[in-house]
Amino acid sequence: MAFILAAAGSAVGLGNVWKFPYIAGEHGGGAFVLVYLACVAGIGLPVLAAEILLGRRGGGSPIHSFATLAAREGHSPRWSAIGWLGVLCAFLILSFYSVVAGWALSYLWYAVSGQIAAPGDGSLDVAEAMSGLFAGLLASPAALIAGHTLVMALTMAIVAKGIRGGLERALRWMVPGLFVLLIALVVYAAATTGTFLAAARFLFQPDFAALSWEAVLVALGHAFFTLSVGMTAMMAYGSFLSRDVPIARASVTIAGLDTLVALLAGLAIFPIVFAQGLEPGAGPGLIFVTLPISFAQIPGGAAVAVLFFLFLAIAALSSTMSILEPVVEYLEQRGGWTRRRATVLLGSAIWTLGLGCALAFNVGADFTLFGMNLFDAFDYLTSNIMLPLGGMLIALYAGHVLSRDALAEELGPLPAYVFRSFRFLLRYVAPIGIGVVLIYSLMF
Ligand code: PHE
């Protein structure tokens, strides 16, 4: 699959459209968004480029590449532990991500079957009806498990059998399609709600007094999550990258596109939040309640809803396959496992773990880990601890284990100051920055 398309497909997903708006809402907007943008540019982007170039240079599964490259540079092959951290992270992320991707599929069904509409009998207003629809989904173990199961089955089919060709064709029109649709939703929100400026102010006017260390950690963690870095997913894709693709430019394109989609999603959603008097910090249901309110009112909104949730589901699937891929590659390369067998085994294990995340919204709500339900615990642990930690180790590896010459050779011709700043970010800024944020936020 064309690298840029696959990598952009991995980066753009539920993280941009579902997660970014709701965590921005929970952490007060402006200052949080600014910190997130700074983390993407100053830490996420260099680590993204590092992962891609390590993947290409290593050429194997991430675990193997860490070991062989370290040995080649005269360092311990134990650096492959970063790959193991990535494997664990992939298990945990996919198990909750798949549940949310299942919501997108459920909403695709609601859209097709005409349930995203203003109630005809006038008994409820639209906002109440759409909140009720989401609450109904969360209350149904069967519906949540069905969505999760379908997502895992599709992901396994893509990873095992290479129906990737089909996914690539879908991505070719989905990425521009999602873009156009989000812009149309932003324009619609701007034209009809009268709260567009309030939303823009909420998202872009920073109030640093309201910013906690916890919010900084969430912003940093999300920078990793949204770019798919810190767990070696991009490394796995990098291993297929041909030598003539300039990595610096590819990384900037991927990060830029990813950020734009997130900001557009925020601008489409917050005007509705304010116009309807909803709570910006409403949590994971935010987009599933707000956007349907628009769809129910837009002329032809039913068709728009079908398209939107179809695009969201495809964006989610191109991310889920990138989470499973590095783990499958490892088992396949270790020998003895066919791709099919590795995919079925790992996919089923993740599916089982995901059942716990699905049930966390209803019958399993009382089961807690670190004071959170299983879904929130997996999300917190991966985004806010494991991905930053993985990112820190990858930065240290690319900056200190890999020699300067090897780094320069992979990046190709670049202006000297760009190369020097890139290496400086990897060697010092990213590891120290991540370390400080982790320590402060966990202590205070
Ligand atoms: N970047 C994806 C998203 O924003 C999620 C993801 C995380 C994918 C980690 C791969 C690895 O939806």
* CA dist., res. 159 & res. 375, Å (int): 24
Mean pLDDT, the chain, integer: 93
Residue nearest to atom 7 of ligand 1 (CA): 228
Report the pLDDT value the prediction gives residue 1, as an integer from 0 to 100: 52
User: Could you tell me the distance, in angstroms and rounded to a whole number, from the CA of residue 258 to the centre of ligand 1?
Assistant: 10
User: What's 363's domain CATH number?
Assistant: 1.10.4160
- Residue 39 contacts by C-beta under 8 Å, 6 or more apart in sequence? 219, 220, 222, 223
pLDDT above 90 (res 118) = no
CA of 415 to the centre of ligand 1 (A): 31
232 lines ligand 1 (CB under 6 A): no
| Mean pLDDT (whole number) for 240-259 | 94
Ligand 1 contacts CB of residue 93 (under 6 A)? yes
Query: Per-residue pLDDT for 197 more than 60?
Result: yes
Pocket test for ligand 1, best of 103, 159, 319, 325 (most atoms within 8 A of CB): 319
Q: Does residue 162 carry a pLDDT above 70?
A: no
Q: Check if 233 has its Cβ closer than 6 Å to any atom of ligand 1.
A: yes
pLDDT tens figures, 370-420: 899 999 999 999 999 999 999 999 999 999 999 999 999 999 999 999 999
The whole-number pLDDT of residue 443 equals: 81
What is the DSSP code (8-state) at residue 372? E
Measured in Å, residue 254 CA sits from the centre of ligand 1 at: 12
User: Which residue in the block uniquely carries the two structure tokens 């109440």?
Assistant: 128
Rounded-to-integer distance, Cα 365 and Cα 374, Å:
8
- Contact 317 CB / ligand 1 (< 6 Å): no
Separation of CA 14 and ligand 1 centre (Å): 8
Unique residue bearing structure tokens 């989000």 = 182
| 8-state DSSP, 149 | H
10 lines ligand 1 (CB under 6 A): yes
Which residue bears the tokens 């299983």? Answer: 374
Helix axes 126-139, 141-161, angle to 10 degrees: 70
Does residue 208 sit in helix, strand or coil? helix
pLDDT for 164 equals: 60
Does residue 322's CB lie within 6 angstroms of at least one atom of ligand 1?
Answer: yes
Main-chain phi, psi angles of 368, to 5 degrees: -125, 155
DSSP 154-172: HHHHHHHH-THHHHHHHHH
> In this structure, are residues 439 and 412 in contact, taking their beta carbons and an 8 Å threshold?
no
Is 276's C-beta closer than 6 angstroms to any atom of ligand 1? no
28: region left, alpha or beta (phi > 0 left; psi from -120 to 50 alpha): left
Ligand 1 binding pocket includes 225 (Cβ within 6 Å):
yes
Structural domain for 289, as ranges: 2-443
Q: Please name the residue that has the structure tokens 């170039």.
A: 53
387 lines ligand 1 (CB under 6 A): no
Is the Cβ–Cβ distance between 144 and 358 less than 8 Å? yes
- For ligand 1, pick from 323, 324, 328 the residue to mutate: most ligand atoms within 8 Å of CB: 323
Distance 341 CA to ligand 1 centre (A): 24
Q: What is the per-residue pLDDT across 265-284, written as a single tens digit (0 to 9) for each?
A: 999 999 999 998 889 998 89
Q: Please name which of 299, 309, 290, 272 lies closest in space to residue 110, comparing C-alpha atoms.
A: 309
Q: What is the model's pLDDT at position 356?
A: 97
From 225, 229, 235, mutation site for ligand 1 pocket: most ligand atoms within 8 A of C-beta: 225
Q: pLDDT value at position 122?
A: 67
Residue 50 — φ and ψ, nearest 5°? -65, -45
Say what percent of the chain tops pLDDT 70: 98
86 pocket-lining for ligand 1 (C-beta < 6 Å): no
Tell me the residue type at 210. Answer: A
Of all helices (H) and strands (E), which one includes residue 316?
helix 301-334
Q: Is residue 323 in contact with ligand 1, taking CB distance under 6 Å?
A: yes
The pLDDT of 354-378, averaged and rounded, is: 95
Minimum-distance ligand 1 atom for the alpha carbon of 13:
12
> Percent of the chain at pLDDT above 90?
77
Question: Strand, helix or coil at 432?
Answer: helix
* 231 pocket-lining for ligand 1 (C-beta < 6 Å): yes
111 confidence band (pLDDT: 50, 70, 90): very high
Contacts 24+ apart (CB under 8 A), 243-248: 243/56, 245/3, 246/411, 246/412, 247/49, 247/52, 247/53, 247/56, 247/410, 247/411, 247/412, 248/49, 248/411, 248/412, 248/414, 248/418, 248/422
Q: Is the pLDDT of residue 23 over 90?
A: yes
pLDDT digits (tens, 9 = 90+) for 282-326: 889 999 999 999 889 888 888 889 999 999 999 999 999 999 998
Nearest CA to 427 among 405, 397, 403, 406? 397
Output the DSSP codes for 18-75. Answer: IIHHHHHHHTTSHHHHHHHHHHIIIIIHHHHHHHHHHHHHH-S-HHHHHHHHHHHTT-
| CA distance linking residue 156 with residue 347, whole number of Å | 6
- Does ligand 1 have an atom closer than 6 angstroms to the CB of 228? yes
Ligand 1 atom nearest 315 alpha carbon = 12
Which residue minimizes the CA distance to atom 10 of ligand 1?
228
Atom of ligand 1 nearest to the CA of 225: 7
pLDDT band at 44; cut points 50, 70, 90: very high
Give the number of domains in the chain.
Answer: 1
326 lines ligand 1 (CB under 6 A): no
CA-based angle 353:227:5, to the nearest 5?
100
Two structure tokens written together for 154: 């599709």
* Ligand 1 center to 81 CA (angstroms): 21
- The pLDDT of residue 276: 87
CA of 306 to the centre of ligand 1 (A): 23
